């Protein structure tokens, strides 16, 4: 082992030891080497980029609806350091997301699937949960660690087998990291956001069963478009798995949070 490789291992070990965190609500252990401040700065920049490229909707009723539901979810989230904004983008895409720092974007295409405020709150809660749980920072941390691991492996092979073998290792490592670590972890994040999203919606006074009706609509919509993606190699759980998980947790969340909601 070369001195350079030894120092690389020492540096990586120090990073790993210092990178333990706990997820909000679920208390799941997280690997985190990206600070929340860094996440929020990236979120602000990304929000500005979206607003430069996309056209905002002028449908005042739907914009107000997004903001009203969003304000209640934001109050339930209790993140005073977030600068909350709620935007409706004029595009048929069925999508929504919340950037770190509280910049929330809905696309008009998803409104046909969120006809009730409970369903809208399910989407809002889910996307806000991703930000609260720092899933973006977690994925960035995993990617940085994977990159560091690949570099260490390249050093090891490069010391003995030349640059060609080193390049092959880097390519193989990238594939292994994508299939073996990043995608399954992202599916776990989606399930976690489903659970915490229902909690936020319930705390805000919305019926948590809105998540169930939402995903049943999503399932029907996806099948009508021929977009029933297999669960493996997908960043989302299968719809059937998702609905089953929501059903298994909905009763307890309703009893603990919805029935005691202060923002009814």
Torsions phi, psi for 104 (to 5 deg): -105, 135
Q: What is the DSSP string of 171-221?
A: HHHHHHHIIIIIHHHHHHHHHHHHHHHHHHHHHTT--TTHHHHHHHHHHHH
Q: What are the structure tokens assigned to 87, written together?
A: 């935007």
SS3 56: strand
Q: How far apart are CA 74 and CA 70, in angstroms?
A: 6
Nearest 5°: phi and psi at 188? -65, -40
Q: In this structure, are residues 204 and 76 in contact, taking their beta carbons and an 8 Å threshold?
A: yes
Q: Which residues pair with 85 in a beta bridge?
A: 103
Residues in the chain: 264
User: What is the three-class DSSP state of 29?
Assistant: strand
240 is catalytic: no
Q: Is the Cβ–Cβ distance between 130 and 25 less than 8 Å?
A: no
Three-state SS sequence of 121-152: HHHHHHHHHHHHCCHHHHHHHHHHHHHHHHHH
Which residue from 64, 43, 74 is spatially nearest to 111, judged by alpha carbons?
A: 64
Q: Among 39, 85, 119, 127, which one carries the catalytic annotation?
A: 127
Contact 125, 165 (CB under 8 A): no
Q: List residues with catalytic annotation.
A: 127
């Amino acid at each position: 082992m070369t001195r350079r490789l030894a120092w690389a291992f020492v540096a990586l070990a120090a990073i790993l030891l210092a990178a333990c965190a706990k997820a909000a609500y679920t208390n799941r252990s997280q690997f985190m080497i990206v600070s929340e401040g860094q996440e929020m700065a990236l979120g602000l920049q990304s929000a500005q980029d979206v607003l430069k490229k996309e056209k905002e909707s002028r449908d005042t009723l739907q914009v107000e609806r997004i903001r009203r539901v969003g304000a209640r979810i934001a109050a339930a989230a209790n993140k005073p350091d977030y600068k909350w904004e709620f935007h409706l983008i004029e595009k048929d895409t069925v999508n929504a997301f919340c950037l770190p720092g509280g910049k929330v974007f809905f696309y008009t295409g998803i409104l046909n699937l969120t006809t009730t405020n409970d369903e809208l709150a399910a989407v809002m809660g889910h996307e806000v949960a991703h930000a609260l749980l720092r899933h973006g920072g977690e994925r960035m941390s995993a990617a940085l660690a994977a990159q560091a691991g690949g570099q260490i492996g390249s050093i090891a092979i490069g010391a003995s087998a030349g640059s060609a073998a080193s390049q092959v290792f880097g390519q193989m490592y990238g594939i292994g990291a994508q299939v073996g670590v990043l995608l399954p972890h992202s599916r776990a994040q989606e399930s976690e956001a489903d659970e915490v999203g229902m909690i936020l919606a319930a705390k805000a006074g919305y019926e948590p069963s809105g998540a169930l009706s939402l995903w049943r609509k999503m399932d029907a919509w996806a099948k009508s478009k021929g977009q029933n993606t297999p669960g493996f190699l997908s960043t989302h759980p299968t719809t059937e798995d998702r609905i089953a998980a929501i059903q298994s947790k909905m009763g307890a969340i309703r009893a603990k949070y919805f029935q005691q909601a202060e923002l009814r």
